[in-house]
Chains A and B, each alone.
Chain A
Amino acid sequence: MGRVRRGVWLAPAFLSAFFFLASPLSAEGGLLNVLFISSFEAGAAETAEVISAFRSEMAAAGHRSEVFLEALDVRRLHLPMDGGAHMAGDLAERYRGIRFDLILAQASQAVEIAVQYRDRHAPGVPVYCFDTMDEGLVTRYSNLDAVYGRPLGSPLSPTLRLAAALFPKARKAIFLASVGDPGHVPAYLDALFALRDGYPGLDFVPLVNADFPTVEKALAEAGRDAFVLLLPGGWVLPNGDFLSETEMVDRLEAEYPLPYFGIYASTFGTGLVGGCLVDRDAMGREAGDMALSILFDDRKPVAWLYSNAIVPTLDWRALRRFEIPSSLVPEDAVVKFEPPGFWLRYQRQLMLAGALLLGLLFILLVESSFRRRKNLILAGSNERLESTVLERTEELRTANAELEASNANLEGSLRRIEAMQERLVSDAQDSVLGRIALGLAHEVNNPLGAIQASTFSMKTAISDPAEGITSILAGFDRDQFDLFRRGLAVMSGIAAVLDPEETMAREEALARRMDGLGLSARRSLADLLVDSGLAELSDEDLRSIAREENARVLAGLYRAQSIERGIGIALQATGRIASIVESLRSYARDSVAGQGNSVSPIGESLSGAAGFFREAEFRDIDLDLELEEGLPEVPVAFASLVRVWTNLIRNSIQAMDRRGRIVVRAKGEGASVLVEVIDEGPGVDPALRESLFKPFPGKAGMESGMGLGLSICKRIVEGSGGSIHHEERDGMTVFAVRLPAVSRQADAGMEGGAHA
C-alpha cells in the first residue's frame, strides 16, 4: 500500500546521509587530524580550494587527512591583538578531546594564534605557517621548535608592477592599508619604501590605518593621474566599523573614479581593475607537500623555504572602462570576465536547464542513496566511513537546519489549521467540515510529533558538544574505531524495533546470550544494545563492547543508529501525511464530481476491486466472490464503484487484523442490486455505530487511520440513488449496498431518444 513515501523536503538529509556513508576514499594509512586556522571566510571558494588541494596532495602520498577549518572572522583580526592568547583559549575549548597531528596557519594573525594554541594546549604538534607578508613574524618564530613555514612573496611588489604597467602616465600611487597589529606597520612601510627606487616617476602616498576622511581627502586631491592599491584589503573605520575590500571599492569608486587594485579574488567583478591573486590550488598543494615532509621526511627542519605562486589578474570590463590598450597588458596576466560569449547570451536558458538538471540529479541521488546505503556498508565499504564521518557531519548539520526549518513551516500550517478547526467546531459541532478539520488535526499531529522529535534527536546525536557523534568519534583509538565500524556493519534498521514485544523478546534473547558468554547479564545493557540495533554483534565484539572503557563506542553507535532511525521515522511520518492529503483529495473529488450518465457493469467492478487484494501482503485473507449470473448494470462511474468496494473490503481486512475470511455477495433484487461485504471480524464498536458513515467517526481501531472511507462510500452510493447500511448478523459484520439497476429497456429508450 506504499505507506513509506519519500518526502521531498527531507531530501537534503538523505543526500547527506548518502555522502556520510558512501564518500569514496582510496588512500591507505592512518587518518591525520589537521587543524587549519585561516583568515579566509569559512564559506569562501578559496578556502575550499586550499583544503581540497591540500587533501589531494596528502592522499596522493597515501595519507588520509581530516581538516578542521577554523575560519577567523576577519573583523576580529582587526581588533587589538594579544598575541593570539584569547583565541587560543577558544580553540582549546572547541577542540577538546581531538588530537591534532598538524596545525596549518594561514596569514600572520593565524600564525600567532596557532603558536599560542600549540604551546599551551597541544604541546609538540608541528605548526606550518604560510601566506604571511610579515618578515618580522618569520624572524620571531623561525627559531621555535616545530614551527615551519615560508613567507609569502608579498603581493605588494607584483601588484605595483602591474598597476604601473597599465597606467604608465600615473604620477601618484596611493597605498591604502589596514594593518591589524600596529606593531606590524613599520614592517609594512619598510617593505613599501624598499620598492620606491624602481619607480622614480611615481609619488608614493601610504595611508596606513588612516581614518576615512583622511582617505577621502587624499583621493580627492589625487586628480586623475593616480591609482590606488588596497593592500591588504579591508578597513577599520575610526568608529570601529569594518569595511571589506569589496565595500571599500564600492564606496570609494563611486565618489572617486580612480583605478583600484586589490588582492582578494572575491572583490573581482566589482570596480576593481585587477590585482595579484594568490594561486590557492598551488598554495594548498604546497601546504600538503610541506606537511608530508614535516611529518614523514627526514628533511626537517624545512623552515621558511619557498616563495609563492602569485597570478596577476585583471577585469576585462575595467580595462575597457579605462581604455587601456591590450599592448599594455602583461603577458602573464589572466584576464577575467571576457567579452560576452555563448554563456552570457544564453545565460538565462542555460541556468534554467542547469537548475532542472540539478533537480533531477538530486532526486536520483536521494533515491539511490536510500537503496544503496545498506549495501554499501555490508559490501565492506566500512573503511570509507572512518575518514568521512567527521567531515560529513557538517553536511548533516546543514541538512538538519533545513529539516528544522521545514518542520517550523509545517507546524505553522498546523497551528493555522487548528485555529480554523476550533472556529469551525464551535460553529457546527457536528458539521462535516468541523469533523474533517478535527480529524485532520488529529491525524496530522501524530506524524508531526514524530518528525519533530526525531529531527531534534538527530540534531542532538550529531552536534551535541559533549555527547554528539563528532566529539565521541574524535576520542577513539584504533581498536575502538574498528569496533565502531563492525558495529555499524551489523546495525539493523528501523523496522526491526517497531514492535515493543519484538524488542523485548530480542532483549531477553541477547541477555541470555550474554549470560552464556559469562558477561554479567545486565538487562539494561541488553536493552541499550538492542535499541542501538546491535543484537547481531559477534560474541567477541559483545565482550569488548560490554567493557567499561568501551562505553563511548556504544554511545557512538547509539547515535549512529539514532540518525538512521530518525530519518526512517521522518520518512514514514511524511509518507503518512502524504496519504492523508491524498485521501482528502479523493474525498473532495468524489464530493464534486457528479456521476453524470455513467453506467457500469457491477460484476466486473467487483472482480476488479477484488483483484487489488491478491497481493502477498493479503495472503492470510480469504476473499470469496459470490456473484449471481447476469448481474445488471448500475448508474455509477466504474472508478467510483471500484472505490466503494475497495474501501469496504479494506475496512474488513483491517477489522480482522489482516487475517480471516471475507465474502462479497451480489444478487439482483427486483429493480435493484444488493451487494454485501461480510467479514468475521469483531464488529463495529457500538459507540461508533451512530456516526459510522460520517467523516472521522473516531480514531480507535483504524490502522492507517484516515476515517474518510465509509463517508466516501456513502456519498457515491447515495449520489446514485442507492443506499448503504451496516448490520451485525449471526456474529458476522455486514456492510450492505443497494443500487438501482439500469434496465435494458430504459437503456434502449435513452439511446433512441438521443438519436431522435
Chain B
Amino acid sequence: MTHAGSARVSLDPQFAPSFPQAALIMLRNPQLRKNVAHAIDVIQAKRGKLVVEKTDWQELRSAASAIRFHVLDNLGAYLEQFESRCIAAGGHVHWASDAAQARQIILDLLRQANASEVIKIKTMTSAEIQLNPFLQAAGVSVYETDLAEIILQLGDEDPSHIVVPALHINRSQVREIFARTMGLKNLSDDPKELTNAARTYLRQKFLTVPTAISGANFLIAETGTVAVVESEGNGRMCLTLPRTLISLVGIEKVLPRFQDLEVMLQLLARSAVGERMNPYTSLWSGVTPGDGPQNFHVVLLDNGRSSILAKTKERQTLKCIRCAACMNTCPVYRQTGGHAYGSVYPGPIGAILTPQLMQLKHAQTLPYASSLCGACYEVCPVKINIPEVLLELRAQVVNQERRQAGRFFDLMYLGLRVANLIFATAWGFHAAQRMGRIGSRFFTRKDGWIHSLPSIGAKWTQTRDLRGLPKQTFHQWWAERVKGEK
C-alpha cells in the first residue's frame, strides 16, 4: 500500500492511471505530502549552500553538458572501446536490446553461477526492466541491500524518488515494517535503531551470498572501468565480497576518459544529496586477481535509448546522470510525490524519459505534468532543457490525437482548434469576444464575478473565481479614443 487507506498506483507505465488521476490520489494524502516536502526541503537547503560555495558551478555544468553531448554523438565508438577494455581486463560484456532480453541474460548468468539467491545494490535500471519479480518467479531470491530498498521490499511498497526512494515513508511506518518482518518486537522508531537493525539483518547476507547484481553510475571507455557512487556501504559490500557480479547499465552511461569523473563527481553529490562528495565511490575495471569478484559481467541495456538518441531535440534526455535535482526543485513533484508519475522514473526527468522509453505508446499524460516553470532546467547539472523536451513531446502527443476519432470528444482539443480559427482574423477574434461576453453574462453574479462554470470551465471554478468579462475590450476602448481624438 502506498499509504494506509489510499489506493496504490502502478509504477508500470503500461498500466498506470493518467497523471491527473494518480496525482489526485496522492494529493489527498497528507502524510505523503508532509514527508515529501520535508525531504525536499532538507536536500534543497544543503544543495543550495554548496552550489553557492562552488564558484565554478556554471563552468562545471557547461563542461558536463558538453562531455555528455560528445559521448552521445559518438556513442558507438565509446561503447565499443569500453567493451574491449573491459574484456581485456577479464570482464564479460553482454548487450540487451530490450527489457525481456536483459532479464533473460541475467537469469542465464545466475543459472550458470548456480545462484539461488542474489544480493542487490539499488539500481533504477533494474526496476525499469522489472527484474526482481522476474527472478523471484524463476526461483531466485533477491535481497535488496539499500536501506530504502529494504524498506520498500519488506513493506511491499514502490519507490517514489530515484535517489531517496522511500522518502514518502516516515519513521513510525519504517518501525512497523521492520518490527513485523524482522521479528523485532521492541524496536523503537528512532532512525539510528532502525538503521542498526538493517545493518545486523544484512551482515550475514553480505558475508554468505556469493552473487550480486548492481547498476552503475558511469562507465569509463578509456579504461573499461565501472563506477558506483553510494552513501551506505552496501555497494562496497556487494561489489567486493561475492564471487560473481553482474552490473546492469544503460548504454548512455559511458564517459570517454577516467579524467571526466572530475567533472561528474563534483556535480553529482552536490546535486543528489547536498554534499561535497558522497561517502563511498567504488571503481573497478574487469577482474583483479585476489580482490573482489572473479566472475564479472556487464549487461548493456538499450530498451529504447537508441530511439531517443536518434531524435535531435529529445537526445538531451540521455545526458541525465540520475541526480534527482530536478524533482527536488519541481513544484509539481513537491505536491504529488513520485508515485503520481506511474513510473520508476518520476519528476521532470521521468516526465520526458518514461514516455520516450514507451515510444509514446503509454504515459502520454506525463509531458503535461508540468507548469513549464523551468526550475528543473536551472538546476540540472548536465543542462537538460527539460521544458524544451516536454513541449516537443506534447506536440507529438497532439499529433497522435489528430489521427484519433476520440478527438471529437476531447473538449480541450476542440476548444484549441476553434481558438486557432478565432485568432486567425481580427473580426473572428472580436466576434468571439462579443459572444463570450454575452454567454458569460449568465454565469456572472451581481458582484461581477463568475463562481461556477459548466463542463471544462468547472476545472477552473472548482477552486477559483473568475472576474466577469468587462463590458468593453481594450481594442474597443482604443477605437473609441481614436474616434474621440478625430
Q: Indicate whether A and B interact.
A: no
